[in-house]
Amino acid sequence: MTPPAERSAVHDEQAGSGPGRGIEDSAVPGGDAAPDKEARGQGAREEDEVRDKETSRKGAEPEPEDGADEGAAKEAGDAKARRGRRRAAKPGAGTVRQGELIRALTALREQLDAFEFLLDVPGVPEAREARDELRAQLEDYVLPRIQAAGAPMLVVLGGSTGAGKSTLVNTLVGSRVSATGVLRPTTSSPILVCHPDHVDWFMEGPMLPGMGRVRGPAPDAIAGDQLVIIGSDVLPPGLALLDSPDFDSVFEDHYEFATKLMAAADLWLCVTTAARYADAQVWQMLQRAKENGATIGVVLSRVPQGAGPQGAEVVEHFGEMLDEHEVGDARRFTVPETRIENSRLPEETVADIRAWLTGVAEDTEDREIVISDTLAAVLDSFRTRVPELARQVEAQVEQRTELAGEVDAGYGTALAELDEATRNGSLLRGEVLARWQDFAGTGDLLKALHVQRGRRGRGAGRRNRRSPARVRALKAALRAGLESLIMASAEHGAEQVIARWRDHPSGRQVLAGTDAELAHVSPELSRRVTRAVSSWQDHVQELIRTEGVTKRSVAKLVSFDTEAVSLVLMIGLLGYGTSDVAVEGGNSAVPQRLLKALFGAESLRGMGAKARADLRSRIGMLFDEEAIRFGQVLDSAGIPDETVPVQLYQATYNLEVAR
């Protein structure tokens, strides 16, 4: 609840920015609420029969506003005058501000539509429900209510199945408009009863736009989710009663209706019975109504009669529970268990309910107060409900970030392993090693070196272009070895990510919607790997050609075949002689020594570093492309991104500004 001072500050700001609007308008909410509270304070707990306006105002006490500052000094009569002024001010000042408010609310509704709660993190079912409720309340109640300020007050009777909602409505209306009976649940379609003058407004009006309407009376031939609208002379013009389905029977759609209608009520009458007032569901609904800003009345029906102390005990206990659950300020009524005749209760049992309702409805001012207080409370509730939603969205965003992190971690591990494997010589096994032995052992390696005979070194290289079979075989084996290592690593990376996601509660959910292919490498990867590896080989050869400046002392004597020497460099890079492939008897690895002798230590180090960096970046690129698939899955899963909560906060702020 906003303290009035704060609220009027908002209005002041608004008035300042808006052209030529009433200053008195800005003073209204604070000044108005305070004396009202005054009046309530005098007799809030009186249970006596009352029909005068004083009590009807008392009933309309949804906002325990604390505006004692200026209001304390004023008299009740003064307050009345102010109220009159507000009503007069409304139509004129309303339009601009109303327009802004509607715009802000529409924007908020669009924001609410713009995302999905996809991941089942704790609290999401509630958040989903809260979002739907918020959206429904905006559409069903807030927007129509702002547009149609003069419409009748809508009193919704909600409650447990078998609590006697329909019977109560029938009694209040004075005829059988809603079916009653022993079968549970009895009422399946909501039935709205209002003064005949308003039937058309409810039939065509903006209230509850999502529901179909049927003109009553058709209490027995009820069609699904239709709102049945019945005119009745018994009700005063400002009042509409809505008999809503129960909220706790086995029919889930009843629960949905009940909550939807509850959110659309100007006044929500919760009907429960002596047998079930301790049901968890009743209190959950009361709590929810309170959070959603509804004005609440409570009816405890079917209180056992006769056995006096028993009935009193129940009523007393119920009262204690109401206080405990912080809905103690709701207006309370009791209806005794009696014989039901003609679907109606004896008139005297509902007298105080009728008196209260008609009292509020007949006095336009009081009705306005109830209506506007409820509206204000609902808008107030947005202040906490929307940020609450935004927090839930943030939780989703966080989950998404976590999942993306898991992808990075999965491929990161795979990449690190791959890096290690290309360094520690574990690649030099099987065919690669055999080919190397073949190449080195038979002397083909040495054939790649030529003694200079007067000519320039490069010329000798070109002369030996035919690249003997063993060179080609070694090159192919190296390529194949690297390729399969990369493929296996990529596969491993994908598996890692899948495993990590599977361990992650939200990841499992995202995975459920994907095809099995994700668990493996992408189909085009092998082609890409082939290309990457062969271009790396070309790159190394190019390095040898351009940077492999032969040591001056050696260059005079020896020239070499770049292809063969590049293979030697690769073998050296991949870790020949480092670990388990230590050469028997050799103190240092052959390739390194040969290359060092050819190029000199420094030049060799430079080339080695460049070649390795090139390989790593090529593999990194391949892995990035693989990882992108998971990113795409996350994107297409429809998890909200980080802009959504920001926009929600923004929409809430805009709404506050517009009020």
Partner 1 sequence: MTTSAIPANSPAGTGGIPLVPADVPGPPAGPPGLTDRLAGLDRLVHAGVGRLDQPVLDDAVALLDRAGQRLRLSGEHTVVTLAGGTGSGKSSLFNAICGLELSPTGMRRPMTSKAHACVWGLDGAGPLLDWLDVDKRHRYARASALDLERADHSLQGLVLIDLPDHDSIQAMHRAEVDRFVTIADLLVWVVDPQKYADAALHRNYIVPFARHTGVTLIVLNQVDRLTPHEIDDCVADLRRLLEAEGLADPRIVTTSAVAEDGTYGFRDVLVDTVAARRARTERLSADVDKVAERFADYRYAAEPPTTVDDARRADLVQAFTDAAGAPAVAEAMESAYELRAADFVGWPVAAIAARLRSDPLRRMRLTELREELRNAFTGPIGAQQGDVDNALQAVTEGLSQELPTHWGRSVRAAARSHATEIPEALGESLKHALPTFNAVPRWWWLVKTWQYFLVLVAVLSVVWIGFLVAYGLFDLGGDNPSRLVGDAGLIPYVAVLVVCTLGMGWLTASACRNLVALSSAKHGDKMEHHMRVGIERVAHEKVIGPIEEDLQVYARFRENVDIALGR
Site string for partner 1, 346-385 (x = CB under 8 A): ----------------------------------------
Q: CA–CA separation, 58 vs 603, rounded Å? A: 94
Distance between CA 290 and CA 48 in Å, rounded?
A: 25
Burial class (CB in 10 A: 0-12, 13-18, 19+), 260: buried
- Least distance (Å) from partner 1 to the CB of residue 213? 27
Contacts (CB under 8 A) with partner 1, residues 171-210: 181-185
Contact assessment for residue 540 and residue 611, using Cβ atoms and an 8 Å cutoff: yes
What distances in angstroms separate CA 605 from CA 244, 314, 380, 579, one per listed residue? Answer: 83, 91, 70, 19
Do 530 and 634 contact (CB within 8 A), yes or no? no
Query: What is the C-alpha separation between 413 and 311, in angstroms, rounded?
Result: 71
Give the gyration radius of the chain's Cα atoms: 40
Which of 9/476 has CB closer to partner 1? 476
Cis status of the peptide bond prior to 217, with omega within 30 of 0: yes
Q: Which is nearer to partner 1, 93 or 460 (CB)?
A: 460
Q: Compute the least distance from the CB of residue 140 to partner 1, in Å.
A: 23
Residue from 25, 408, 338 nearest 168 by CA: 338
Site string for partner 1, 307-346 (x = CB under 8 A): ---xx-xx--x---x-------------------------
Q: Which is nearer to partner 1, 166 or 273 (CB)?
A: 273
Among 369, 445, 533, 570, binds partner 1 (CB under 8 A): 445
CB of 258 to partner 1, least distance (A): 11
Q: Which residues contact 377 (CB under 8 A, 6 or more apart)?
A: 1, 62, 63, 293, 294, 295
DSSP string, 420-477: HHTTSSTTSSHHHHHHHHHHHHTTHHHHTEEE--SS-HHHHHHHTTT--HHHHHHHHH
CB of 87 to partner 1, least distance (A): 42
Rounded Cα distance between 177 and 159, Å, is 18
Nearer to partner 1, 343 or 392 (CB): 343
d(CA 214, CA 223): 9
Does residue number 273 form part of the binding site for partner 1 (CB under 8 A)? yes
Distance CA 263, CA 292 (A): 7
Tell me: does residue 489 bind partner 1 (CB under 8 A).
yes
Instruction: Based on the shown chain and the rule CB under 8 A, indicate whether residue 467 belongs to the binding site for partner 1.
Output: no
Nearer CB in complex with partner 1: 252/341: 252
Q: Does 442 bind partner 1 (CB under 8 A)?
A: yes
CB of 281 or CB of 522, closer to partner 1: 281
Characterise 134 by phi-psi region: left (phi > 0), alpha (psi -120 to 50), beta (else): alpha
Site for partner 1 in 597-656 (CB under 8 A): 597-598
Q: How far is the CB of 41 from partner 1 (least distance, A)?
A: 30
The residue within the footprint of partner 1, chosen from 156, 449, 568, 573 (CB under 8 A), is 449
The residue within the footprint of partner 1, chosen from 103, 215, 429, 462 (CB under 8 A), is: 429
| Rounded least distance, CB 239 to partner 1, Å | 28
Q: Does 590 bind partner 1 (CB under 8 A)?
A: yes
Q: Which residue has the tokens 């009422």?
A: 187
Closest to partner 1 by CB, 110 or 580: 580
Near partner 1 by CB under 8 A: residue from 32, 61, 100, 248: 248
As a whole number of angstroms, the distance between CA 151 and CA 368 comes to: 10
Contact call for residue 431 and partner 1 (CB under 8 A) = yes
Q: Is position 50 an interface residue for partner 1 (rule: CB under 8 A)?
A: no
Nearer to partner 1, 317 or 462 (CB): 317
Beta carbon of residue 502, minimum distance to partner 1 (angstroms, whole number):
10
Considering the rule CB under 8 A, would residue 107 count as an interface residue with partner 1? no
Select 62 or 493, whichever has its Cβ closest to partner 1. 493
- The amino acid that residue 553 corresponds to is S
Name which of 221 and 451 has its Cβ closer to partner 1: 451
Whole-angstrom Cα distance, residue 469 to residue 482? 20
Please calculate the CA angle 213-225-115 and round it to the nearest 5 degrees.
105
Amino acid letter, residue 89: A
Of the candidate residues 21, 145, 435, 659, the single one contacting partner 1 (CB under 8 A): 435
Residues 282-301 that bind partner 1 (CB under 8 A): 283
For partner 1, which residue of 1, 107, 433, 657 counts as binding (CB under 8 A)?
433
Q: Closest distance between partner 1 and the C-beta of residue 345, in Å?
A: 16
161, 259, 292, 358: which one binds partner 1 (CB under 8 A): 161
* Site for partner 1 contains 165 (CB under 8 A): no
Identify which range of 26-34, 218-226, 245-253, 353-361 contacts partner 1 by CB under 8 A: 245-253
Token digits of residue 335? 């209806």
